[in-house]
Amino acid sequence: MTRYIERFRAHAIILGLMATSILPVGYVIGGVRELPAPGSVPRITETDALSSNQNSSSNQNSSSNQNSDPNRMTPELLWKLQRVGESSVSPDGSAVAFTARSYVLAENKGISDLHLLDLDSETDSTILSGWPSIEAPQWIGSEGDFTLYFLGVHPDDDAGESQVYTWKIGQDQPKKITAFEGGLANLKVSPTGKHLAYTLDVKMDATVNEVYEDLPLADARIIDSLMFRHWNAWHDYAYSHLHVAEIGPDGIAAPGQDVMAGMRADCPVPPFAGSEHFNWAADGKEIAYTTKISPKMAESTDSDVYLVKIDNLTTSVCITNGQDGYDNDPVYSPDGKYLAYHSMMRPGFEADRNRIMIYDRSTGSVRDLTIGLDQAATGSTWLPDSSGLIFNSDYRGTVQLFKIMLNSQGATQVTKGQSDFHIAAIMPNGKQLLATKNDMIRAPELAMVDLETSDDQMLSHLNDAVFASLELPTVEARFVEGTDGKQIHCWVIYPPGFDPKSEQTYPMLTYCQGGPQGQISQFFSYRWNFHLMAANGYVVLAPNRRGLPGFGRQWNDQISGDWGGQAMKDLLSTTDSMLNEKYIDKKRVGAIGASFGGYSVYWLMGNAADRFSAMIAHCGVFNMESMYASTEELFFVNWDLGGPYWKNDSIRQKYERFSPNRFINNWKTPLLVIHSEKDFRVPINQGIEAFTTAQIEDVPSRFLYFPNEGHWVQKPQNGVLWHRVFFQWLHEHCGPQSK
C-alpha cells in the first residue's frame, strides 16, 4: 500500500496540510496571578484568588514558588503534550490512521490532527491538522481501493457540528458525506461500506415551557423520577439513539433510520461508554447494540445486548434476558459464528468481574469463556481466524494484554513489563497487534506487539522531543505487609536525581486512589500526574490498597461495606513503612486524593492526622448520609455502603463508624478542598461541608471551586490553575526545603 500512502501524502502537501510537528504556542495565561499565602490576608476571597488585573509573575512569594526548572515537567508542559486518540489499521496491514489531540492553552481549547503512519517505511505524516475535532478513523475497502472514513468538525464549519467525511486514495481532499442536523457521534462504518451506524440525540420528553405554552419564561423542571441528572449534566429531554443510514451510489449518506424509535433509553449507555457499545456483523447484515431499560434506572446496572437486522431495523431482540448485571461491548467474530460481549454477574455492583461471554449465533447458547479466571476483561478483540480473543486486564499494578482461546481453558499473558497496554487492533496477519503503551513517566503512544515473543516496538513518537529534554523521575514497586499479614503492592515514584545514599531528605505524598475500585496501574494522568509531582521534589507513595482490582476478586471486593476499615489500615501501613526510610522527612508528608481518595483524605484528617502536615481532597465524600441522599447512581452507594442509612441499625452503625464528618474534633492538618459545581456523582455539598467545617474549627484551609467542571477538571486553563493551587498548598505546608 506504500504507493497509495505516498499519493495520500502528496495531496496533503498540496493542500498545505502537512505538518512536521503540531506544538501549540502561547502558553502564558494572562490575568491569573499566584494566590497569596495563607495568613497574608484575612481570608481568601474570589477576587483575591483570581484577579484579572495582575500578571501571574508579579505577585509571588518565596513560600509558594513552584518548580521553575526548565528540565522538569510543569503543568503548562503537561498540557503541551499531544494525546494519541483512536486508530485504524488499513485492510492490508501496511498503514495506520490515528488521531492526536493537542491544546492551545491561551485559547482554552483543543485541536485535532489526523496522522498516517506508513508501517513499511516507519514514517508518520500529519495529513490533516488544526480541526476542532477528528474522531473514529476507519479504513474500508480492499487492495487498490481503500477509503478512509472519519468523524470530524471542519475548521470552516461555524455550527461546529460533527459530520462524516471520506478520503479516498486519489482525492484531493476529504469529502463530506453527511449533513445531519445537530451533528452525529460514535461512527461505525459497515464492513461492506454500504451503511453507516451512528448515534443521534432524539428529544422525547417535554420541557416545562412545552407543557405550559402560556408560560414561555418559566424557568423550572418538573421531576417525577430519579436519574434526572447524571455525573455532570442534567437530563436534556433527549436520548442517544442508534441510527443506520445507507450510503448512496454517489457516496452520500441518505437520511438515517432510528433503530431505537420510541425507546426512552440510550446507546451508548451513559455516562462513559462510546462506540464500543455497538458493532457490525462481518457481513454487514446485523448490528448488536447495548442499552439499559429499567423502571429504576438509578438503582440498576442491568444493561442488555440487543440484535437488529439491517433489513428489519424496527425489530430488536434481546439476547441477555435474565442476566441482571452489566452486559455490554458486543463484538462479532470474523467468521460470523459468534458474538462476544462483556458481562458482570452481580446486579448492582458496578465493579464486579467483567467476564467474556460467547453467544453462538446458530444455537443461541451462551457460555462464559473466562470461567475460573480471577481477573477482569475489557477491550475484547477477536483474532482474525476467530479462534480466540485478546483482552485488556488489570494485573498486579499494570494493565496487560491476554489471549484466550475458544477451545482451551485459561488465558495467556501477551505483554509484559512495567507499563500499561490497551489493545487498539489486531493486525490482519494475526501475528501482531496494535496497542497504546504508557507508564507513569511517559504519555501513551502507539506500539506494535508481537503475539509470539511479547516484544513491543514504539510506532508513534508524538512527544519524544518533549521528554528527551526532561530530567525524569524513577518508579519502583514496593511491597508492604498489612495489619492482617497480606502484602500490599505500592508504586513509589522518586524525584529526578534521587539518590537514596545521600543525606538529602525529601517530602512525601501518600496518594489515595479513588474508585473506590480502580487499580493504580502505570497510568499517565493529566491531573494526578506522578511525574509532575516527583518533578516538584516529592517522593510519591501510591499504594494498591484493599479494594483495588488487579490482585484478585477477594482483594477487590474487600472495600465494599468497609470504607473506613482495612483499606485505611493499608494506607497507614504503607505510609508508616515509607516513614522509616531515612530519606523521607517525617515532618513534611501530605495525603492527597480524589473521589474515594478524597474520602480517604477526610477520613485520615480525623483518624491519623499526626502523620501528615498537609491534606488535599478533590471531590471527596465528607458526609456519607448527605452523600447518599444527593448522589445520582444509587446502585453504587447501595452496594458499597449497604443501602440507605435509615434502613437498619447495622447499616446506620457503619455510616457512623466510617463517615469522616464524625471525626471533625480531631481535625488540625491544613486542608485544601477542591470541588466542582457540576459534580453530581459526589455533589458539591460534600466539599462545602468539609470546607465550612475546617473554617469553623480554625483549621488552615482553602476552597478551590470550579463552577463549570464536573467530577474531573477538563478545561485547559482550569487544569493549569488546579495544579498551581495544588502545588502552592503543598509547597507551603510540606514542600521541598530551599537549597
Confidence class for position 17, pLDDT limits 50, 70, 90: very low
Listed in sequence order, the DSSP H helices in 580-683 are 596-607, 624-630, 634-640, 649-658
Task: For domain 471-734, give the CATH number.
Answer: 3.40.50.1820
| Burial degree of 514 (CB within 10 A; 0-12, 13-18, 19+) | buried
- Judged against a pLDDT cut of 50, whether residue 18 lies above it is answered with no
For residues 622 and 670, what is the distance between their CA atoms, to the nearest angstrom? 16
Q: Which of 521, 640, 679, 723 is flagged as catalytic?
A: 679
For residues 240 and 80, what is the distance between their CA atoms, to the nearest angstrom? 33
Q: Which of 573, 595, 613, 659 is flagged as catalytic?
A: 595
Among 168-177, 283-292, 357-366, 435-444, the least confident range:
168-177
Confidence class for position 144, pLDDT limits 50, 70, 90: confident
The backbone torsions φ and ψ at residue 13, rounded to the nearest 5 degrees and listed phi first, read -65, -45
- For position 29, what pLDDT does the model report? 26
Using alpha carbons, list the distances in angstroms from residue 611 to 464, 539, 605, 671. 39, 15, 10, 14
What's the whole-number average pLDDT of the chain? 91
Residue 43 CB contacts under 8 Å (≥ 6 apart), including other chains: none
Among 21-30, 174-183, 582-591, 699-708, the least confident range:
21-30
Residue carrying the nine cell digits 447484515: 285
Confidence class for position 147, pLDDT limits 50, 70, 90: very high
For residues 133 and 94, what is the distance between their CA atoms, to the nearest angstrom? 25
**Residue 711 designated active-site:** yes
Among 68-77, 288-297, 408-417, the least confident range:
68-77
In which residue ranges of the chain is CATH 3.40.50.1820 found? Answer: 471-734
- For position 738, what pLDDT does the model report? 55
Residue 585 CB contacts under 8 Å (≥ 6 apart), including other chains: 505, 506, 507, 508, 737
Q: Which three cell numbers stand for residue 299?
A: 438503582
Q: Which of 154, 195, 243, 711 is flagged as catalytic?
A: 711
Among 10-19, 80-89, 656-665, the least confident range:
10-19
CATH classification (class only), 369-469: mainly beta
Mean pLDDT calculated for residue range 604-616 = 96
For residues 30 and 297, what is the distance between their CA atoms, to the nearest angstrom? 45
- For position 69, what pLDDT does the model report? 77
Q: Model confidence over 487-542: pLDDT tens digits?
A: 999 999 999 999 999 999 999 999 999 999 999 999 999 999 999 999 999 999 99
- Judged against a pLDDT cut of 50, whether residue 14 lies above it is answered with no
Q: How many residues does the chain have?
A: 739
Classify residue 472 by its DSSP letter.
P
Among 49-58, 81-90, 453-462, the least confident range:
49-58
Rg (CA), the chain: 26
For residues 519 and 551, what is the distance between their CA atoms, to the nearest angstrom? 9
Give counts: helices (H), strands (E), the chain.
Answer: 14, 38
The string over 182-209, giving b where at least 16 C-beta atoms fall within 10 Å of a residue's C-beta and e elsewhere, is: ebbbbbbbbbebebbbbbbbbeeeeeee
- Partners of residue 659 on adjacent β-strands: none
- For position 11, what pLDDT does the model report? 52
| Burial degree of 537 (CB within 10 A; 0-12, 13-18, 19+) | buried
- For position 171, what pLDDT does the model report? 79
Evaluate the CA torsion angle 169, 172, 178, 183 in order and state its sign.
Answer: positive
Neighbouring CB atoms inside 10 A of 506's CB total 19
**Residue 595 designated active-site:** yes
Among 64-68, 308-312, 430-434, the least confident range:
64-68
- Partners of residue 641 on adjacent β-strands: none
Classify residue 253 by its DSSP letter.
B
In which residue ranges of the chain is CATH 2.120.10.30 found? Answer: 369-469
For residues 230 and 94, what is the distance between their CA atoms, to the nearest angstrom? 42
